[in-house]
Amino acid sequence: MLLSTSKKTELNKKKNCFHLENCPLYLLGLLFFIGIFILYFIWGKNTVFDVHDQLDETILSYVIPARHLFSGAKTYPEMMTALPADSLKPSAPLFIPLYSVLSVEWAFLIQFMIETLTAFFGMYFLIWKLTKNPFAALPVSVLFALLPFQPVYGLNIIGTPLLILCMLILYRSEEEKLPVQIAAFAGIIYYTLSTHIALSGYVACAFGLIAFIGILIADKGFRKKRIPFYAGFLLLILCYGLLNLNLILSLIFGGNGFVSHREDFVASSLGGTFFTRLWNMFFYGEETYAISLHRYFLPVLILLSIYVTIRFKKMSDSLKNAAVFTYILWGAVLLICILYAILGSDAFAAFQNSMSGFLRHTDFERFYYFLPGCYWMLLGILGGIVISDAVGSAAGKSAEFESKEAESSPERNTDIVQGKAILAYCVGAVVLIIALLPTAIAMKNKLNLYQNRNYQNNGSLVTGLTGMAEYYHEDVLKEVDAYIGKDKAAYRIAHLGMSPAPSLVYGFYTIDGYSNNYPMEYKKAFRKVIAGALDEDEVTRVYFDTWGSRAYLYLADSHITEGAYISLPYDFAEMKNLGCEYILSAMEIKDTDALTFEKKFTSGEWGTEIYLYSVN
């Protein structure tokens, strides 16, 4: 006996209500991160973040421009006598306003939270969009957002899934509602404002161009339905162009108002053979700035890919499309690894050293910034495909439902199908989580959350970690400022044995500092100050002369004894020529007639000691 149309409809509705592809598991992820963020709000200024390449220097590319926001300033007088504004471009300009209205600690903390949520939602909805599987999307996106990325670099590494999600929505524009398409365009703008063209922007444009050409070829010409995708790509280029107009004009027409210290850069190879570099990037990835930890689940990725390839012909069309996308991602991974191996060669280093301008001093191998996103997208999408395929097989799709047995006992059969589908979802999710356990275990000690709990419980002496408030020690710098008693713009200071970043954040004007693009003229002037120190240490001399982005008061260990600095080898007359009147030292300075001891300051909360000396 055949079922009536109304009865079939009723049973299909009952069956569909147990379809879990629309289950909003992202809410669980959101609640998880809200819980974590509550802890960060409790810790506040005492939150721990990596100091190196973040709090000690790169963060100044937000702090100083924020002070001059909307002023139209061409130079920033706080650092290196007068640093050109183009020399201090942040990795994510969108966040500059945060630093103009909040303290540096709170601005950085909120930036970190926004970027974490961006990583989570970008990865989650990309996986869900391709596989309709929230059970694969949730664990993968949560762990991806927990990777030990450096917030100071914005979305350059963790924003890749968001960008691809936006472009995917525009590529499938005929399937998306207008508000979703508008959100995709907004997402592209957000991405460009939160990245830098020299870090990941040029890679995004390069891959976008490849996709642009590939789609034209696949479509055998221009198709009207692809207009939103093409518009999204053009928007990406336009945004980067407007944000970096001065840089682009200087590359085309030459000159940017000064000769950069980067002209002294001497490129070097990454060592090893081509295949060694290729394997290291493929298996380990970059382990300083673009940490992915993918080696812990790489065997799982390979097995999942093999399974998907074997099952390909039996999959639904939507899963086939997702599988094709994973092949594209594998191609991107291999391309990035091959480029890294080529660009790290002796031959390419020699080529760069023979050139000038951006061809000489650009780190072209930063294609690897896209690698963490590619590996984790592969894991989520492949996991989603396999689980969804298993669910379809367990449920028997509509074929089992329409069988004669289903006609004789439709309600019972539907319950069985639903149960099998739910069981397949749960088993698949559990297996994926188990596969991720090695990655989660390896991630534990690198987790910012773990480091913070350790620091809050045990302090800096035990853990070796430093909270933001402790690092910037505003309390002791206030005492120094009050003691000097002059307008900070009327004099300059230098630092010995300590980073100039806390002083610059506080508002002091310095002769030392870090910039990845400052005038060669200033590098030469500052070198006169430290020439004696460089002559004593060949390693430091090569470091400064062939790179030199850190204009610091370097000092050999031979000048350190019994908790004091002795016989400083600096040219104090040249120091005075740069406007330097004071030195902040981490220890007492002895046997130097060119300086006069003023006072020792100690932070009541952190115990930080600063010795103030005036330059005679």
Give the 3-state DSSP-derived string for 197-221, with helices as H, strands as E and coil as C.
HHHHHHHHHHHHHHHHHHHHHHCCC
CB 155 within 8 A of CB 115: yes
H or E stretch at 143: helix 134-145
CB 153 within 8 A of CB 289: yes
Cα 13 to chain centroid distance, Å, stands at: 44
Q: What is the CA radius of gyration of the chain?
A: 28
SS3 category, 226: helix
Distance CA 324, CA 320 (A): 6
SS3 category, 157: coil
CB 186 within 8 A of CB 163: no
Same domain, 381 and 512: no
Which residues of the chain register pLDDT less than 50? 1-18, 398-406
Instruction: Tell me the CB-side half-sphere exposure of residue 552, using CA atoms within 13 A.
Output: 20
Cα 287 to chain centroid distance, Å, stands at: 13
- The CA dihedral of 476, 479, 481, 484, to the nearest 10 degrees, is -130
**Structural domain contains residue 214:** no
SS3 category, 429: helix
> How many structural domains does the chain have?
2
Q: What is the DSSP string of 57-124?
A: TTTHHHHHHHHTTTTT-SEETTBTTTEEGGG---S-GGGHHHHHHS-HHHHHHHHHHHHHHHHHHHHH
**Structural domain contains residue 526:** yes
**Structural domain contains residue 140:** no
Distance CA 174, CA 123 (A): 22
pLDDT at 460: 83
Asked which of 349, 367, 394 is the last residue of a domain, the reply is: 394
pLDDT at 418: 66
Same domain, 482 and 384: no
**Structural domain contains residue 162:** no
Instruction: Provide the token pair at 418.
Output: 């639903």
Distance CA 566, CA 593 (A): 11
> 26-43 and 448-463 helices cross at what angle (nearest 10)?
20
pLDDT at 7: 45
CB 158 within 8 A of CB 92: no
**Structural domain contains residue 170:** no
In this structure, the chain runs to a length of 616
How many helices, marked H, and strands, marked E, lie in the chain? 27, 11
Same domain, 491 and 359: no
**Structural domain contains residue 482:** yes
CB 387 within 8 A of CB 136: yes
CB 438 within 8 A of CB 296: yes
Residue type, 410: P
pLDDT at 608: 87
Strand partners, 612: 584, 599
Q: Is 379 exposed, middle or buried (0-12, 13-18, 19+ CB in 10 A)?
A: buried
**Structural domain contains residue 562:** yes
Asked which of 362, 394, 426 is the last residue of a domain, the reply is: 394
Phi-psi region of 149 (alpha: psi -120 to 50; beta: other; left: phi over 0): beta
Same domain, 604 and 501: yes
pLDDT tens digit string along 13-41? 444 434 577 889 999 999 999 999 999 99
Strands 580-585 and 492-496: parallel
Phi-psi region of 70 (alpha: psi -120 to 50; beta: other; left: phi over 0): left
Domain that holds residue 586: 473-615
Same domain, 484 and 610: yes
Same domain, 607 and 490: yes
**Structural domain contains residue 379:** yes
Q: Is 600 exposed, middle or buried (0-12, 13-18, 19+ CB in 10 A)?
A: exposed
Instruction: Provide the token pair at 187.
Output: 């997402």
Integer distance in angstroms from the first to the last C-alpha of the chain? 106
Distance CA 240, CA 141 (A): 27
Distance CA 337, CA 375 (A): 12
Same domain, 479 and 610: yes
pLDDT at 11: 42
Same domain, 492 and 602: yes
Strands 492-496 and 609-615: unpaired
Asked which of 369, 394, 419 is the last residue of a domain, the reply is: 394
Same domain, 381 and 484: no
**Contacts (Cβ under 8 Å, ≥6 apart) of 376:** 123, 140, 143, 144, 161, 292, 294
Q: Is 408 exposed, middle or buried (0-12, 13-18, 19+ CB in 10 A)?
A: exposed
CB 333 within 8 A of CB 374: yes
Cα 244 to chain centroid distance, Å, stands at: 19
pLDDT at 256: 64
Q: Which residue has the tokens 């004009």?
A: 249
The Cα-based distances of 492 to 240, 500, 512, 535, 554 in angstroms read 36, 11, 9, 25, 18
Same domain, 388 and 478: no
Same domain, 376 and 480: no
Same domain, 387 and 477: no
